[in-house]
Each structure stands twice: as C-alpha cells, then as structure tokens.
Homo-oligomer: A and B are copies of this chain.
C-alpha cells in the first residue's frame, strides 16, 4: 500500500519507503532526501533523478550493474529483489520457452560483454516481443548512447516503483471532450463509460457519464485516489449518438461503440482525452 507523502518526513521513513526504487541503491534516496520536503511524487522523482545526474560515473555504473539479468540465473533461483521478481513475472518472463530462455541468456551475455553492464528494460508494460526487439536494437548502439538509454530505463523502473510506494498529491484528474466534426458542434448527450483495466483492488472499475451541451462531462471523470497510474478505456457511444440525432447511417453502422484505450503515467497531472468523430471517422490525442 502506498503511504502518503506526509508519512515520509523523516529520513528513515523516506529511505524505508523509496530506498528500493533504484535497484539495490538506497544511496540515491538518502542523498535526495535533503532536497525535500516534497509536495508531490513528481518532484520527489525529479530529485532522485537529479541526484543521479550529479553522481559520479562510477556510481552510475555500479547502479546499472546492480540490476539482475532479465530471466537470468538470479531470477531463476529467486535471488532478485521482490520488485524485480514481480516486474519480470508481469512481462511473462516466467513463461519463456526453453528456446526463448536460451536466446535471451545468450543475448544478455553478449550485451554485458559489450557494454559492461546488464541489459536493463522497464518490463512491466513490455511483452516478450518488445524485450527481444529492444535487445537486438540496443545491442547495435554505441556505449555513450546505450548508457543514456539504460539510465532512461532505470528512471522508468524507479518511477513505477515510486508510484507503488508513495501516494500522489491528488492534484491530477481526467477529462474528455467530444466534438461532432460532421456538424461542427460539441456532441451533446452522448453516453460515455470509463473502465479501469488491470488489477486495482477495491477501487471502482467502471463509471458512466453523459456529455453536456459543450460536449464535456460535468466535472472530472476521475480525480483524487481513484485517479491512479495504469491503463483505462473510454467507450464513446458514437453510433447511438448519431442514431438519436437522426443522421442516416447503414443498417450495420461503421462506428457504434468506440473504445479509446489509454494509459495514465503520472497521476499528478491533468489528462485530457478528446474525441473528434463523424459517423465515418474518429480521432483522439492527449490534449491539454
């Protein structure tokens, strides 16, 4: 369970809570603590990132080297941090075939031989296919590029662990806006549902809305503790909307219920996800 920011005001509590975000390197949290107190997980993460930017090359290298091989011997014998084990399991690395395991081991070894540190990838949202594609691509890079890429992955891993450890400041929220580009007006009266994908324990998982005269919802679709990082899906009832307006469509309309699946990476930010639609097209984007 994530703890509130207010509960990590002492150095000991801070390091206990977030010392594991950077693999086997609590020194990152120890040094970052001085930059607190932090008003947000976002600024806490930035402080730890800055700490690494200020660290020596050797310190960074030792951090990179502290990571276990993906699906490597350490993982096989259970000798990795709990965080690593959970992340690797989620990416399906526990279910590799013999051939895949052997290929991965060999690629890992070649990678480590070339760069001097293991191949690191934030695997929680990665599939096996992505992992192999990334390994092959990054194997071809040069050391300078690859150190930068490995460090970028380390920060991603730390961010995901941090969100599991500390509650956000509750300032983020989710909105949408539906425009009817066939008539050049807001789409009023459209039914919209929002579903949280994946496992989020006791949180509600589905919400129903109707757009107002301006094509928006009356207030945020999600905010506060309900608005956590993860994958979500809107369903916009576009077919119903046009049918109710009397727009002529086919017996089997081209667009009926339109799902829009998207991810929330930072629950302290505003996510605006508009839909532009006619009976024959739709588009979406991260708005502001």
List the interface of chain A (C-beta within 8 A of B): 122, 124-127, 129-130, 133-134, 137-138, 144, 149, 152, 156-157, 159-160, 177, 179, 181-186, 191, 214-215, 229-231, 233, 239-240, 243-246, 248, 250-259, 261-266, 276, 278-288
Interface contact A263-B254, CB-CB below 8 Å: yes
Given that A259-B261, A280-B183 are known contacts, is A251 also in contact with B214, CB under 8 Å in the complex? Answer: no
Distance in Å: Cβ of A184 to nearest Cβ of chain B:
3
Residues of B within 8 A of A257 (CB): 261
Q: How far in angstroms is the closest Cβ of chain B from A161? A: 10
- In the bound complex, CA of A161 to CA of B288 (Å): 39
* Pairs across A and B, CB under 8 Å, 29 listed: A125-B251, A125-B253, A127-B240, A130-B243, A133-B244, A152-B248, A159-B251, A177-B288, A181-B280, A184-B254, A184-B279, A184-B286, A214-B288, A229-B251, A231-B256, A233-B259, A250-B266, A252-B264, A254-B263, A254-B265, A255-B262, A255-B263, A256-B261, A276-B281, A276-B285, A280-B286, A281-B286, A282-B284, A282-B285
Question: With A244-B130, A246-B134 in contact, is A258–B261 under 8 Å at CB?
Answer: yes
Partner of A191, one of B129, B181, B184, B263: B129
Q: How far is the CA of A186 from the CA of B278 in the complex (A)?
A: 15
Complex contacts, A138 vs chain B, CB 8 Å:
246
Give CA–CA (A184, B256) in the complex, Å: 14
Which single residue of chain B is at the shortest CB-CB distance from A230? B252
Q: Which residue of B lies closest to A160 (CB)?
A: B251
Q: Are A244 and B134 in contact (CB under 8 A)?
A: yes
Q: Which 7 A-B pairs have the closest CB atoms?
A: A283-B283, A184-B280, A250-B265, A281-B285, A133-B244, A181-B281, A156-B251
Q: Give CA–CA (A269, B259) in the complex, Å.
A: 25
With beta carbons under 8 angstroms apart, the residue of B157, B244, B259 that contacts A137 is B244
**Chain B residues with Cβ under 8 A from A266's Cβ?**
250
Tell me which residues across on chain B come within 8 A of A253, comparing CB atoms.
Answer: 125, 263, 265
A4, chain B: closest CB distance, angstroms: 21
User: Taking the nearest CB of chain B, how far is it from the CB of A8, in angstroms?
Assistant: 21
Q: Are A134 and B184 in contact (CB under 8 A)?
A: no
Question: Least Cβ distance of A209 to chain B in Å?
Answer: 14
